[in-house]
Amino acid sequence: MRTALVIGTGLIGTSVALALRSRGITVHLADHDPGQARTAAALGAGTDSEPEGPVDLAVIAVPPAHVAEALAEAIRGGVARGYLDVASVKGGPARALAELGLGEDELSCYIGTHPMSGRERSGPLAAGADLFEGRPWVLTPSRSTDTEVLNLALEVIAFCRAVPVVMDAEAHDRAVALVSHMPHLVSGLVAARLEHAEESAVRLCGQGIRDVTRIAASDPRMWVDILSANPGPVADLLSELAADLDGTVRALRALESADRAERGAGTEGVREILRRGNAGQVRVPGKHGAAPAVYESVAVLIDDQPGQLARIFADAGQAGVNVEDVRIEHATGQQAGLVQLMVEPSAVPVLTAALRDRGWSIRQ
């Protein structure tokens, strides 16, 4: 691949373009909003001028509801020798393409894909060439997909340093409903409880509520498009979740009962849902997609000053300790925060001693 056309210069499209440009690919940018394409070009993602002839690959990076239309126009216009989309839903666009009258011959140059990566912010200014590094990138080839197009898609994934995963389109949509779409709605439902909460309660927010509500900050318009393209599987999961919530509510009400047997049943009900939560959480892949490792935390109090995190990492490195993950909790109303350094259990005493020797305040 030497040339590419990215249609849609939001977060994903601009990030793909930046990754391709970093590998020397000539990238042309197009968007229904010319100003957004110019912004992406100014960031170094490519040029907003039209290509003089067909490019090697066209990347369709528009909302799911518009993928089929944009693809059909591009394919019938002969703008590229290969096409892929990066929409978060795959079954809907495939059906829409069939409804637009595109046959298997026309669609042999197309492959559906989905990079499993994103941020709470949208638009080209949130983009980065490193957005996809180490993340799964799903490919959903059909029986008619040409091998050359599959190879072009794999080349893009390699340039973006992502991990290719081949799936059936419908299986993909059920999977993302479980691991992405349903959790986003649940995060929004929890965050909505805060909208009219007392300020005295909101000031008590800690890292737990920040973790749960983080993805609720995403653009509602974008998520309406996504959920509208995959409503059935998401509704099925929410129905199952609603049944669990009903059971949990009954268990909690039982804990208020004067009857000892009812309280015992309530305790068991709450314990069971928490046990199931533990069992599900340990299945979430950890670092580099591997089975999650058990890390321990070393908590360090820091001031809100430039260079504090860099100093901590440098001191940990000098102590020969690899920091596997980091979490930051800001102290409400104070210019300070608590940094939790996640390390191997055996490294805890080494890191704790080293940081104390260097003047850091360690919290148990």
Q: What percent of the chain has pLDDT over 90?
A: 65
Q: Mean pLDDT throughout 216-226?
A: 88
Among 18-22, 168-172, 206-210, 302-306, the least confident range: 302-306
Cα distance between residue 205 and residue 207, in whole Å: 7
Cα distance between residue 45 and residue 66, in whole Å: 22
Cα distance between residue 249 and residue 242, in whole Å: 10
Q: Are residues 66 and 47 in the same domain?
A: yes
Which of 43, 38, 100 minimizes the C-alpha distance to 75? 100
Q: With respect to residue 288, please indicate whether it lies within any of the assigned structural domains.
A: no
Q: Are residues 9 and 136 in the same domain?
A: yes
Half-sphere exposure of 294 (CA within 13 A, CB side): 2
The predicted-structure confidence for 173-201, as pLDDT tens digits, reads as follows 999 999 999 999 999 999 999 999 999 99
CATH classification of the domain holding 67: 3.40.50.720
The predicted-structure confidence for 262-273, as pLDDT tens digits, reads as follows 999 999 999 999
Q: Are residues 60 and 190 in the same domain?
A: no
Q: With respect to residue 289, please indicate whether it lies within any of the assigned structural domains.
A: no
In the predicted structure, residue 100 carries a pLDDT above the cut 70:
yes
In the predicted structure, residue 335 carries a pLDDT above the cut 80:
no
Torsion of CA 74, 177, 180, 248, to 10 degrees: 160
Q: Are residues 32 and 101 in the same domain?
A: yes
Q: With respect to residue 23, please indicate whether it lies within any of the assigned structural domains.
A: yes
Q: Mean pLDDT throughout 334-342?
A: 77
Q: Are residues 161 and 185 in the same domain?
A: no
Q: Are residues 163 and 178 in the same domain?
A: no
Helix (H, G, I), strand (E, B) or coil at 324: coil
In the predicted structure, residue 291 carries a pLDDT above the cut 80:
no
Whether the Cβ atoms of residue 13 and residue 87 lie closer than 8 Å to each other: no
Q: Are residues 263 and 126 in the same domain?
A: no
pLDDT for residue 6: 98
Q: Are residues 191 and 306 in the same domain?
A: no
pTM of the predicted structure, to 2 decimals: 0.75
Among 140, 167, 194, residue at a domain's last position: 167
Query: With the C-alpha atoms ordered 27, 33, 38, 44, is the resulting torsion angle positive or negative?
Result: negative
Q: Are residues 34 and 161 in the same domain?
A: yes
In the predicted structure, residue 304 carries a pLDDT above the cut 90:
no
DSSP 336-358: EEEEEEEE-GGGHHHHHHHHHHT
Q: Are residues 86 and 210 in the same domain?
A: no
Q: With respect to residue 90, please indicate whether it lies within any of the assigned structural domains.
A: yes
- 78 sits in the region (left: phi over 0; alpha: psi -120 to 50; else beta) called left
Average confidence score pLDDT of the chain:
90
Whether the Cβ atoms of residue 20 and residue 27 lie closer than 8 Å to each other: yes
In the block, which residue shows the tokens 């912010």? Answer: 121
Whether the Cβ atoms of residue 254 and residue 262 lie closer than 8 Å to each other: yes
H or E element, residue 21: helix 11-22
Q: With respect to residue 160, please indicate whether it lies within any of the assigned structural domains.
A: yes
Query: Total structural domains in the chain?
Result: 3
Among 145, 167, 189, residue at a domain's last position: 167
Query: Which residue type occupies 45?
Result: A
Q: With respect to residue 290, please indicate whether it lies within any of the assigned structural domains.
A: no
Q: Are residues 114 and 18 in the same domain?
A: yes
The predicted-structure confidence for 132-153, as pLDDT tens digits, reads as follows 998 999 999 988 899 999 999 9
Please give the residue range of the domain that contains residue 16: 3-167
Q: Are residues 57 and 107 in the same domain?
A: yes
